[in-house]
Structure 1
Amino acid sequence: MRLERVAAHVPAGARLADIGSDHAYLPVALMRRGQICAAVAGEVALTPFHAAQRTVTENDLQTRISVRLADGLAAIKSQDAITAITLCGMGGETIRDIFESGKSHLSGHERLILQPNGGEQPLRQWLMDNGYGIVCEEVLHENRFDYEIIVAERAAEPLTYSAKELFFGPLHLQLRSPAFLQKWQRKLRQRQKTLHHLARAQQALPREKVQALNQEVHWIRELLA
């Protein structure tokens, strides 16, 4: 379901770079549906790189999908003329670091379709700091986990998101979808449990950490009120 939702945000006729492609299921599925016209599947590790090669070969798409062994955005070459980049199934901080170290491979014209496993806040911070506006946000609940999809494009004007918008997501705060509110009901219980355990264990956590947790609990309560 996660990959289906990511696929839904890839523009028709896109030239896609799927970074951390694993088995290359996403570019292969999109190519078979005729939704994209070219793709790069980038992998940094040998085992998934070979798995991606196998998937592409089995589907006879070697001329349409380039499988490359490379670190992050280094899989992208200027002649690829990439118009959409997908990064799925890794932490938000990891996605942020991939973009930060691979900035030179970005033209600024790409749509970024990101599915972080946690760490959305620092990822949104990077997007804002680097001139990308968030154009769509989704939450979906699958296999007991909440997943977020963040879609961003280069903004015409510099953007400033508030601390609360970076934490929850600016569009989520506007739309307040049932899946989004349910996610934060679960998160509130987790954070309250953490604070309760800390109080009982009388652990000497850094004051900033406790303050941050209390601030988050306050925000979530406000959101759900």
Structure 2
Amino acid sequence: MNHEKLSMRLERVAIHIPKGSILADIGSDHAYLPCYAVTNGLCDSAIAGEVVEGPYQSARKQVALTGLGDKIEVRKGDGLEVLKPDEATCITIAGMGGTLISSILESGKAKLGKAERLILQPNVGAANVRSWLIENGWELCGEEILEEDGKIYEILIAKKGDPLRPYGVNKQTGLTFGPFLREQFSDIFIKKWQLEKKHFERIIEQLDESGRSGLETKRNELKSQISVIEEVLKG
């Protein structure tokens, strides 16, 4: 992977960047995404934020190597603290857990005033991100699910709007499964939740084999989650 050829995961993140954006890529690693976005005219300029020294230096080298120093600024800092208020119009955060993404957004809410779009790719815990979006007035306007190198990823796209609009009457199911992903009902979506169901079934087996007492509540919670998955997988 490089700035000319991204991974499939990052390509699908990039495709949702609105033309003319000022992009902030948080946790930018080698800055491949902002370099790709600027090179391909997906945004006018970009900020690559990185908190770890090694990736920060890698991002600086990458921007220098591609000759994009006039369009991309690499900044070191934690989450959205690398931004000035009202600076970026599109924020991308990819390749982290959903809890961490939510924490970054919560800590940096003051920097989101001019942001028109959030493109978020949690490796796990997408429900946490959806919850944060609802609680903070962001409307989920699209979702993708994909498989790459044996891992399944979800991408969430949000804009300012009515945060409950996509969810209909069953918000909890939408938070867990994704309102757009459930409607699309793709083969990868089905595979993801079949794997989750098997994972919960294995945990129940382990609880039963342990012979420990006082595990009935946990067992019932898992059985309830399995029942919900089975219902959703009926289509």
- Smaller-chain TM-score bracket: over 0.9
- Is 1:196 the counterpart of 2:196? The answer is no
Aligned residues: 223
Deviation at 1:44, TM superposition (A): 0.8
Distance 1:79 1:152 in 2: 17
Q: How does 1:74-89 map to 2 (within 5 A)?
A: 74-78=81-85, 80=87, 82-89=88-95
2:3 matched residue in structure 1 = none
The range that moved more, 65-74 or 104-113, is 104-113
The letter of the residue matching 1:15 is I
Match for 2:35 among 28, 31, 47? 28
Superposed CA deviations along residues 24-52 of structure 1, whole A, max 9, x for unmatched, are 00000111112210100001111111000
AA partner of residue 178 (structure 2): G
Please point out which of 9, 16, 29 is paired with 1:9: 16
Q: Does 1:143 align with 2:149?
A: yes
Change (3 A) 1:101 1:203: farther
Match of 1:169 in 2: 178
Who is 1:90 aligned against?
96
SS at match of 2:173: helix
Return closer, same or farther for 1:118/1:65 CA change in 2, 3 Å cut-off. Answer: same
- The answer to whether 1:154 aligns with 2:160 is yes
Task: Name stretches of at least 5 consecutive residues in structure 1 with no aligned partner.
Answer: none
Gaps of 5+ in 2: 1-7
Report the Cα distance in structure 1 between the residues aligned to 2:233 and 2:96, rounded to whole angstroms: 28
Question: What is the identity percentage for the equivalent residue pairs of Structure 1 and Structure 2?
Answer: 42
Structure with higher RCO (Cα < 8 A, 6+ apart): 1
- Indicate conservation of the 8 Å contact 1:108/1:154, yes or no: no
* Whole-angstrom distance in 2 between the partners of 1:158 and 1:143: 33
Report the counterpart of residue 130 of structure 1 in structure 2. Answer: 136
Q: Report the TM-score, using the length of structure 1 for normalisation.
A: 0.93
- Cα distance in 2, alignment partners of residues 205 and 111 from structure 1: 46
2:139·2:164 contact (CA, 8 Å) conserved in 1?
yes
Structure-1 residue corresponding to 2:76: 69
After superposition, the C-alpha distances for 1:63-89 in whole angstroms (9 at most, x for unaligned) are: 100100111011111363x11100000
State TM-score, norm by structure 2: 0.89
Greater Cα shift, 88-97 or 100-109: 100-109
Distance 1:87 1:205, change over 3 A: farther
